[in-house]
Amino acid sequence: MDALGQNSLDKKVEIGLIILNFRIMITFRITLIDGEEILLKLKFFTVAALVLCVVASGSYSFAGNKPENHVIIEAGLAAPYGHLGADFEKTRLGLGASGGLELGFRYRIHLSNTISVAPYFHFVNFGDFNGFEPEVEDYRVASTSLRYGAEFMVMMPGSRNSLRPFLGAGVGMFRNRVTGFVQDFTQVLDRSVNTLGYSMRFGVQFVGLEFSVVYNINRFNTWQFYQSDYRERYNWDNVGFRAGWLIPFGD
């Protein structure tokens, strides 16, 4: 394929992926209103976006001018929503978590100048809930999450010194852990639940740095965190603000 045809293919793939990412974001906004049925649709579009990235990038993954692969060290803040952030003492399934620290890394494999895939590992330590109960006196409920998966990313073309926006969609295994007490204080709690999670990310890259906002969809059914005769539905969604450092810093 000549250079003109290759550039035309690149542009068509980029436009298609951007449109699909917007569909994912629109579906997500509806999810907040319409609940689980629309959430399934969101998951479908997320997985479809990842598959499309792989198939599309395969047609020109051997094109020239690919950047070198990078290790990216990331740190940021994570703000909990849903049951994760709801008050532990005043809500039935709330865990009372507050904003916490997120640390992780990813290895970005460039399939072209604009398409990449990155296996990742992240650890999120949400802020503890601290309270007092006469039977146990001072107590603490701690919530953490380990995440390992892969993200597919589309980045606008440009040089290393230019400001390059990007969109990412990811899927992975989330290991959610709670330590402390159940709400009636009859049991000490130290339990974990594994679930399939999804993420959507928007950010910019400049020189050797990245800054981004990510929304993690983390929802699951379990009896582990509450004393009941059936599995409860939990929403551990959270938003994160990240900074990343590319190693090596040069292409």
Domains of the chain as residue ranges with CATH = 64-247 (2.40.160.20)
The DSSP output letter for 18 is: H
Q: What is the pLDDT of residues 74-95, one digit of tens each?
A: 999 999 999 999 998 888 888 9
CA atoms within 13 A on the CB side of 213: 2
- Rounded to the nearest integer, the mean pLDDT of the chain is 80
Q: How far is CA 36 from CA 27, 141, 234, 237, in A?
A: 12, 28, 12, 13
Cβ atoms < 10 Å from Cβ of 23 = 15
The DSSP output letter for 244 is: E
pLDDT at 32: 38
* CB 174, CB 218: distance < 8 Å: yes
* CB 149, CB 171: distance < 8 Å: yes
The DSSP output letter for 66 is: P
* CB 117, CB 55: distance < 8 Å: no
pLDDT at 151: 97
Percent pLDDT > 90 in the chain is 49
* CB 209, CB 244: distance < 8 Å: yes
Label residue 78 left, alpha or beta by phi (over 0 means left) and psi (-120 to 50 means alpha).
Answer: beta
* CB 38, CB 56: distance < 8 Å: no
> Which tokens belong to 15?
């436009």
For residues 125 and 248, the model is more confident at: 125
* CB 74, CB 214: distance < 8 Å: no
Q: Where are the alpha helices (DSSP H) in the chain?
A: 3-34, 36-58, 82-85
pLDDT at 246: 92
Q: How far apart are CA 47 and CA 20, in angstroms?
A: 11
The DSSP output letter for 220 is: E
β-bridge mates for residue 17, sequence order: none
Q: What is the pLDDT of residues 120-162, one digit of tens each?
A: 999 999 999 988 877 777 888 999 999 999 999 999 988 778 8
pLDDT at 137: 77
pLDDT at 146: 96
> Which tokens belong to 239?
């938003």
Q: Does the pLDDT of residue 72 top 60, yes or no?
A: yes
**Tokens 């003109």 -> residue:** 4
Which of the residue ranges 65-69, 115-119, 183-187, 228-232 would you say has the lowest mean pLDDT?
A: 183-187
- pLDDT band with cut points at 50, 70 and 90 for residue 49: low
Cβ atoms < 10 Å from Cβ of 3 = 9
